[in-house]
Amino acid sequence: MIGGESHTAPLLVSWTWVGAACGFVAGASYALVLAAPVTSALGVIAASVFGPALVGFSAGLYHVLRARRRTVTLDFGLTANVAAGVTVTVRAGPSGHTNVRP
């Protein structure tokens, strides 16, 4: 291996697993949001999990793609997905934007 590749390989594998796991959780939570009634607690919890899972998936994908080469579009893509994850989480939380009753 060339240079510091041997030191970054375990980290790249870890980010690959994080991205895959978060991608699965994001997909499952999105499916639950579509299937569950909007006013149910399950729907609110699934919607609240989607944002952080999207961010985790995006970060994992970013690190995997960045291992090959770093580009400005890759950085902008991660920034946009983090902003989207935060926005989805804020909108989905029990902060008065849903009709969930305690």
Compute mean pLDDT per 10 residues along the chain, 102 residues long, and list them. Answer: 60 91 94 85 87 94 90 93 90 54 41
**Could you tell me the pTM of the whole model?**
0.77
CA distance linking residue 37 with residue 47, whole number of Å: 11
> At 64, phi and psi to the nearest 5?
-65, -45
Contact criterion met (CB below 8 Å) for 67 and 8 = yes
Ranges of each domain in the chain: 10-92
